[in-house]
Amino acid sequence: MTNLDQTTATENNSTSKTAAERYGIMEMPTLEYTPEVAKETAHLYEKVKHHIPEIEWPIHAPYVHAINKIKKERNAVILAHNYMTPEIFHCVADVAGDSLQLAMEAEKVDADIIVQCGVHFMAETSKLLSPSKTVLIPDMKAGCSLAESLTGEDVRLLREANPGVPIVTYVNTSADVKAESDICCTSSNAVRVVESFESDTILLIPDEYLAQNVAKLTKKKILPWKGHCEVHERFTPEELLAYKEADPVIQIVAHPECPPEVVDVADFSGSTSGMIDFAIGQKLGAKVLLVTECSMASNIQEQAEGVEFIKPCNLCPHMKRITLPNILEALVYMREEVVVDPVMAEKARHAVERMVNLKTN
Ligand code: SF4
């Protein structure tokens, strides 16, 4: 059974009323590009005009207008990951960031409903940290090659095979996996989390490349799992060196989910927020190649004004399942709801909170 199947099964068993029954469904608005829609969305087009041709805006604008109206009526917030397309990221999102930032911000907002524009494990993490809110994902099939490489049962077997070895799981995992682990980590705090244990050996799972990259920065023996992000594993050192050879001033910035030989040729390696800070800190006219999902450069261009982004462009097919039409459907029809079994949620939340507390201590 996949993680998605497990959540759906849990949902069916534990929820007596669906979100649609609790909140009611609305009528689908007319999606026409009227003068009123054009006027009320003009300021939003300004934010995306470098990424969306003017001729295409009449297709997006009616959705943007309807989503922004209905989300207020529903008292909903839209959380958008950095890998969402610019019309989602800039025109309908209330909170944008990486998966953990989104979940932590979602906890603070005064809303009944969260619409998670990202993949399934992110919606679960939001539900863990905001159990009283209704969490919707516009497409339940928005999965993740990395998260799906490991199940809670795998973690239990790893624990049996490695008695006494602490288990650190990356936040890009299902609630089932988090619930079986000792603590979570992000790509920015993984070294710190690993070093917080006295044990000389640590299981750091499921991202094999993150584990290998962390192993280079600590004296601990790191045991990995063979999970990979299908976006970051596609980059090669040869491809990046070719860019550098063509233009030596290009700064290469790689995510630690990339293979170690890719990270080795980068000028900087860091988490999503670390990559953004690096780009923003560059001088006017700098050229930066972000070795990550393609949409991120478009989404941060405004913050890094004057920086030219080189885009080798690997798209995440899972993230790209989220679109303006299915966000609107989520709000109108109140679907698909993400529910986590309360016992599992309690254990998984503990693993996340242990990491967060470590960060602030
Ligand atoms: S970018 Fe990679 S880690 Fe993120 S959702 Fe896609 S496959 Fe998963």
- Of the CA atoms within 13 Å of residue 342, those in its CB half-sphere come to 4
The pLDDT of residue 217 is 95
| Token pair for 137 | 């994902």
- Do 67 and 49 form a contact (C-beta atoms < 8 A)? no
Ligand 1 center from residue 144 Cα (angstroms): 5
The rounded distance, in Å, linking the Cα atoms of 208 and 109 is 35
- Residue of the CA atom closest to atom 8 of ligand 1: 144
The rounded distance, in Å, linking the Cα atoms of 159 and 173 is 17
Bond into 107 cis (ω within 30): no
Ligand 1 center from residue 321 Cα (angstroms): 12
- Residue of the CA atom closest to atom 2 of ligand 1: 229
Angle formed by the axes of helices 57-74 and 35-48, nearest 10° = 100
The rounded distance, in Å, linking the Cα atoms of 215 and 329 is 44
Ligand 1 center from residue 146 Cα (angstroms): 7
- Do 305 and 283 form a contact (C-beta atoms < 8 A)? no
Ligand 1 center from residue 319 Cα (angstroms): 7
- Probe residue for ligand 1, chosen from 258, 318, 322 as the CB with the greatest number of ligand atoms within 8 Å: 318
Write out residues with Cβ below 6 Å of ligand 1.
83, 119, 144-146, 172, 229-231, 293, 316, 318-319
| Token pair for 355 | 């990491």
Closest by CA to 47, choosing from 330, 301, 284, is 301
- Probe residue for ligand 1, chosen from 84, 125, 146 as the CB with the greatest number of ligand atoms within 8 Å: 146
Each residue's pLDDT, cut to its tens digit, for the chain (361 residues) gives: 344 444 443 444 445 899 999 999 999 999 999 999 999 999 999 999 989 999 999 999 999 999 999 999 999 999 999 999 999 999 999 999 888 888 888 889 899 999 999 999 999 999 999 999 999 999 999 999 999 999 999 999 999 999 999 999 999 999 999 999 999 999 889 999 999 999 999 999 999 999 999 999 999 999 999 999 999 999 999 999 999 999 999 999 999 999 999 999 999 999 888 999 999 999 889 999 999 998 998 898 888 888 999 988 789 999 999 999 999 999 999 999 999 999 999 999 999 999 988 855 5
- Residue of the CA atom closest to atom 5 of ligand 1: 144
Ligand 1 center from residue 55 Cα (angstroms): 31
- Residue of the CA atom closest to atom 3 of ligand 1: 229
How many residues are given for the chain?
Answer: 361
Ligand 1 center from residue 232 Cα (angstroms): 8
The pLDDT of residue 36 is 97
Closest by CA to 286, choosing from 258, 237, 253, is 253
Q: Which ligand 1 atom is at minimum distance from the Cα of 293? A: 1
Helix residue spans in the chain (DSSP H): 3-14, 19-23, 35-48, 57-74, 86-91, 99-108, 120-129, 152-161, 175-179, 190-195, 208-215, 237-246, 260-265, 272-280, 295-300, 324-333, 342-360
Closest by CA to 250, choosing from 212, 209, 279, is 279
- Probe residue for ligand 1, chosen from 84, 117, 119 as the CB with the greatest number of ligand atoms within 8 Å: 119
The pLDDT of residue 10 is 42
DSSP for residue 314: B
Ligand 1 center from residue 143 Cα (angstroms): 8
Ligand 1 center from residue 36 Cα (angstroms): 38
- Residue of the CA atom closest to atom 6 of ligand 1: 316
